Amino acid sequence: MAYHIYTTKGLILAGLPQGESDKYYYIFTEDLGLVIASAKSVRKNESKLRFGLSDLALSELSFIRGKNRWKITHAREIENLHRAFAPDQPKERVVARILEMLQKLLTGEEKHTELFTLIEDSFQFLSHAKMLSSELRSFELVLMLRILRMLGYGKEGRAYESCVNTTAWSGHLLDDAVLHQKQMTEDINNSIEASQL
């Protein structure tokens, strides 16, 4: 029986042990949405897959659909966000919180290519930008609101609208967002509450 192989980029959101040496993963993929997939013997030192399946890795992945779950057949790391942001712990914590929330918000295998591109581009900007703590807070709030909007949560017409209704990033945008942090925080909390997470 021939299996179709699906190859796409994906962000490893979490990996959980299964059995003696296997693991299953929550992966936000560019082409398949949120995928729960298993990898055989990945916890063994000789596994070729394990390097591409580290938590917070952006990887090129290949899957086949098994009877009950996706199975990972190939994983090549493109970038490890944990290593990229490790020298800057405040940034690393922001990345971890964003991905943790993303895992909670995404449901099922629904393609979210725009959202995937937003996350990828935003983390690229974050890795190169020098930010004060207030600007980093603005970055996190704006990105959370953009994610919520793309997934159908939140209200439009807010005072900070110009910061959220674009996918671009700039120091000027972050400075503007600083003025609206309180309202942004309230709106994020209200949206999360409405989503019943």
What span, in angstroms and rounded, lies between the C-alpha atoms of 59 and 10?
A: 5
- Tokens in use for 58? 């952006």
- How would residue 160 be classed by pLDDT, with cut points 50, 70 and 90? very high
The confidence score (pLDDT) of residue 197 equals 62
- What percentage of residues in the chain have a pLDDT greater than 90? 71
All residues at 6 or more sequence positions from 59 whose CB lies less than 8 Å from its CB, including other chains: 9, 10, 12, 52, 53, 75, 76, 77, 78
- pTM for this model (two decimals): 0.90
Closest CA to 144 of 127, 128, 160: 160
Q: In sequence order, what E strands does 30-91 have?
A: 33-39, 57-65, 70-80
Q: Residue 80 above 70 pLDDT?
A: yes
Segment 34-43 mean pLDDT: 92
- How would residue 194 be classed by pLDDT, with cut points 50, 70 and 90? confident
All residues at 6 or more sequence positions from 46 whose CB lies less than 8 Å from its CB, including other chains: none
Strand 22-29 versus strand 6-18 pairing type: antiparallel
- How would residue 109 be classed by pLDDT, with cut points 50, 70 and 90? confident
